Amino acid sequence: FHLGCHYADQFAAIAPIVGNADNLAWTQRWGWNRRFPGRFDELREWIQEGHTTRAFAQNFLNLPAYVISGSGDTVVPPEHSRNTVAEMRRLGCNVEYREYPACGHGGFSGEATSLGLAWACGWVRNPFPPKIQWKTALLKHGKAYWLKMEQLERPLEFGEFTAEAIDDNHATIKTANLQAFSIFLTSKLFSADKPLFLNIDGEKVIIPIGQTETWQRLRKDPLHGWDLERYRLVPSLQKRANQEGPINEAFMAPFVLVVGTQSSDQEMNLAWQREAEAFADWWKLRNNAPCRIVKDTECPLSLVDKFNVILLGDARDNSLSALLCEHLPWRDAMEPLRLAGVDLEAEDIGSLVVYPTGDYGPDRLLVRFAANSPSAVWQMWGRFGNWFNWGVYDSMKYFDYCVFDAKSCSPETMLLLGWFGTDWQVETGKYFLGNQTLRDDSAPQGFPAHQLLDSDCPDDLYLTDLMPLKLDQMRGAFGWGRSFNGEIVGEHAIGTRSPAKLEFQLGCQFKSFTSAVRLHNPREFELCHVRQKSEKARFTVYGDGRKLGETVVDWREPEAVLNISLPDVNILTLEVVPSGGPSWLHAGAIWLNPMVKKSDSKEPRR
């Protein structure tokens, strides 16, 4: 489904089986993405639509599809296929649909899949159909047969066109949110012996005789309309395919992490190194591949021309940031916060931004991480991406820039969230200030007071006060003194989204561990029937790899207590995993005030 809707001109037909095609199906079936007061509904829904096949159903106009699903599928419910097929049929696409009773997420008969494959293989690809229609959120997906989007007009809107070759020297094109596009003058549709008369949004443009088998670019001027681009002023900087943002797109091409080492505060240098290592672990977990890491003082400029650069630290901390980021319009981007009286020098302030690299890497992007303190650096990558509970897209960054503080966890609790215009300028873009009511209702993200066990550590030590050796949670940052979604649950709580694992080095100094544990349902989730009936989470405590104790909680008894002796434990591991119900539906699980003690007292603190 997803390959077909973005690259339709590469295929003769498709035969998707139990396709994950419509994010609205999750909401209908399980109550994901529940609305709440202050939610950025329009923004969130636009981003979601950009990741669902159903929103691009018109792109299947020339791509026949044979769709198979199972009515008993509880992993990808059949509503995904039903909704998408209904939209394809409404738009006049050629689609066959087979839904097999009692089949789940697979297990179809050989005949069922063979019929679909035989049907799909009976088509011949037509690279130049006379009529096309196309829609995209990203220019890298903007090519369709003989038209190609080159620049959108506004951010946070889809680009669209509908086109028809009327005869060998006439074509009609209707566009939406397009500033520039190209047309391929193929001899399969157009004559090289005649001028080509284009009607673009009601305006007439003539392409002279003699152009064939070439791309011709057209551009819209706000005063004079459409014409060949050579007759229009072209901005020196523009968002284009594979260089358009948002931040996440910089990681869709080869990249290198460049770690800042130049801070006068060695704790900042250590914080950036720790964040780089955490990102590398996450990347390996997600993609089964390492990522390149290099110190700023050891990064040759030749790498900047070959890779997108991810700069950990701004000019205060990273010498390469000082060189590459001078042209960023950052002061302009910060103006709304200055007008709001925000103290941009506050310790918990940090930011992320993507921008073209510039002269040192003309076809590359840079991403700059910046922070005012180690606490703002910690878990920075994981904190800002879980916007619609769709596992494969969790932790991704769907904005061009953001500014955050300790209260930030969601789009609504950011200080500032923004998208540059399609000319990479602030004034032509869009931005959102955080919702103050939701920010007031959020707990600040904590930071461990002790990097290592030392003489200053108390005999009764909350684990939130000790830097963990390892954080392992695929779907985002651990809440430190708050829930995974940032809600107030206790200043010494550790909020997780299972499966999640933490490790602490205790150095055999503590004799007991105590913690309450509980399930937690955030404001963004419906506690649907499936979850109420079957959801369970197992909380387990290990000492040096040996299980010391565990408990299982569910929605009938959502809270329990663990009191455990620690027999000369050096490495303490806390793990929470799904133990019942679909794992992808699990929302929140909390270690409530976990504490280790040098005495044998085991009273939990709630």
What tens digit of pLDDT does each residue of 192-242 get? 999 999 999 999 999 999 778 999 999 999 899 999 999 999 999 999 999
- For strand 308-312 and strand 350-358, is the pairing parallel, antiparallel, or unpaired? unpaired
For the ranges 103-112, 151-160, 261-270, 406-415, the lowest mean pLDDT is seen at 103-112
Per cent of the chain over pLDDT 70 is 98
Residue spans per domain, the chain: 2-121, 131-231, 247-440, 460-597
Confidence of residue 27 (pLDDT cuts 50, 70, 90): confident
Extended beta strands in 208-313, E state = 215-221, 225-228, 255-259, 292-295, 308-312
What tens digit of pLDDT does each residue of 467-514 get? 999 999 988 899 999 999 999 999 999 999 999 999 999 999 999 999
Q: Which amino acid is at 210?
A: G
> In the prediction, which pLDDT does 173 show?
99
DSSP state of 380: T
The mean of the pLDDT values for the chain is: 94
Confidence of residue 263 (pLDDT cuts 50, 70, 90): very high
pLDDT exceeds cutoff 80 at 389: no
> In the prediction, which pLDDT does 390 show?
64
This prediction's pTM: 0.94
Structural fold of domain 2-121: Rossmann fold (3.40.50)
Alpha helices in 31-105 (DSSP H): 41-49, 79-90
> In the prediction, which pLDDT does 131 show?
98
What tens digit of pLDDT does each residue of 95-144 get? 999 999 989 998 899 999 999 999 999 999 999 999 999 999 999 999 99
What tens digit of pLDDT does each residue of 34-67 get? 889 999 999 999 998 999 999 999 999 999 999 9
What tens digit of pLDDT does each residue of 392-424 get? 667 789 999 999 999 999 999 999 999 999 999
> In the prediction, which pLDDT does 359 show?
93
pLDDT exceeds cutoff 60 at 602: no
pLDDT exceeds cutoff 70 at 606: no
> In the prediction, which pLDDT does 31 show?
80
Phi, psi of 374 (to 5 degrees): -60, -30
DSSP state of 44: H
Confidence of residue 524 (pLDDT cuts 50, 70, 90): confident
Q: What's the residue count for the chain?
A: 606
Per cent of the chain over pLDDT 90 is 86
Confidence of residue 584 (pLDDT cuts 50, 70, 90): confident
For the ranges 16-20, 57-61, 288-292, 391-395, the lowest mean pLDDT is seen at 391-395
Domain 460-597 has CATH 3.40.50.720: no
The side-by-side arrangement of strands in the sheet containing 178-184 is 143-144, 147-152, 178-184, 215-221, 225-228
> In the prediction, which pLDDT does 212 show?
86
Alpha-carbon dihedral sign for residues 461, 464, 468, 471: positive
**DSSP per-residue codes, 311-331:** EES-TTT-HHHHHH-TT--HH
pLDDT exceeds cutoff 80 at 440: yes
- Rounded to a whole number of angstroms, the distance between the first and last alpha carbons of the chain is 48
Mean pLDDT throughout 335-352? Answer: 97
What tens digit of pLDDT does each residue of 77-100 get? 999 999 999 999 999 999 999 999
Confidence of residue 155 (pLDDT cuts 50, 70, 90): very high
> In the prediction, which pLDDT does 525 show?
84
Of 373, 366, 169, 170, residue with least CA distance to 263: 373
For residue 339, give the H/E element and its range. Answer: helix 330-339
What tens digit of pLDDT does each residue of 350-388 get? 999 999 999 999 999 999 999 999 999 999 998 887 777
Q: Which amino acid is at 550?
A: E
Taking only Cα atoms into account, the Rg of the chain, rounded to an integer number of angstroms, comes to 27
